Each structure stands twice: as C-alpha cells, then as structure tokens.
Structure 1
Amino acid sequence: MSDHPRAARLRFLMARARRGGYQLIAYPAGGGWALVDIYGGERLFECASLSDVERFLRE
C-alpha cells in the first residue's frame, strides 16, 4: 500500500515538531499552519505553507 506523499510529509513534520516541543496545528479555513508550545499552549510561529514550517524547524 503506497502512502500519499503529502500525508507522509505531514506526519514527518508533526513528529519533528513534537520532538522540538511544538504541536503543529492546521488552520483549515485559511490553509495556514501554526507551531504551538506543547506545554504552555502559546503560538510561537505562524505561516502559510509546510515549507515555512520545515524552514523554521531547521533553524
């Protein structure tokens, strides 16, 4: 069974975010994304694309 590439990428980013202490949140209406602190719930980063999330997590 082959996996959809976007779903695999999303799972990878969710796991990477969690390891960094974030939760990756999707904004369905606007299509954007946010990284939220796991412990405090504070929004630490918001962006329009998964590429932006990847860039943030690399820094």
Structure 2
Amino acid sequence: MRLWLFVRLPAAAALILTYRENGKQGMITLLKRGIDIKNVKLKGWYFITVLLMPLTSRTPWPGKDT
C-alpha cells in the first residue's frame, strides 16, 4: 500500500503543478516524457528504477523488529 503512495503522490503533485503552469497540453507532454524510453541512453537505469523501491521497502531497519 505504501509503495503506491510513494509513486502516486509525487506524480499527482507534478501533474497539478504542470497543469497550473502549462495547462492540459503541459500535462500530456509530462506524461509522454515519463514513458519515453528513447531518451534514456544507459538502459541499466531501468533495472535500478524498477527494483530499487521494492528492494529498499523489504530491507529491515537496524534495531527494528520485523
């Protein structure tokens, strides 16, 4: 559940602020940039991006009982 909050809230804030600045067309441009894989030159970033959050959310904190 918390994972979705980490993704949705910043995305919603970005969309709201973009809408205020550039309107509907700005929101469309922002969403297109988020899925544009042609601009990523180092494809290893996909591995980091997709796996980093699940790995860190499953790692227990020192001193915390899980």
What's the TM-score bracket when you normalise by the shorter of the two chains? 0.3 to 0.5
Higher relative contact order (CA 8 A, sep 6+): 2
Higher percent of residues as helix: 2
* TM-score relative to the length of structure 2: 0.35
